[in-house]
Amino acid sequence: MKALLTAVALVGLASTAHQTQAVEFVAADDSIATNLCMAFASNRPHIMLEELRGKQSLKKNIANKLHCNDMDLEEFAETYSLTRNAKFMNIELDTKTSIKDLTTQKAPATVVLSGSK
């Protein structure tokens, strides 16, 4: 019984943590770089792949040269926990462990996103 209560409590904490960390990205312009950043920020590899189709750029070049909000893709992925697209783009992320007080988290933030020029 205690194990069941613990499992339910952990699921509740996980869903609360997921809700408090939600970030809404809004495109600053309609440039190719911003569209790539928006696709990367979606954290869905199929959306990133769709955005890469038809472009003459290679995935490796984009991973090395694209900057989103003046951050390289590695820093951007770490900042916003975009692990799925980081893995898709072959970006190594450092594994970090931290403890956050969930009660001090604010409502979902809106981030205006612009790509490198």
Q: Percentage of the chain with pLDDT > 70?
A: 68
Question: Domain residue spans in the chain?
Answer: 24-93+108-117
Task: Give the predicted TM-score (pTM) of the model.
Answer: 0.69
Amino acid 109: pLDDT: 83
pLDDT in tens, 27-67: 999 999 999 999 999 999 999 999 988 876 778 888 889 99
How is residue 81 written in tokens?
């926990």
Amino acid 115: pLDDT: 83
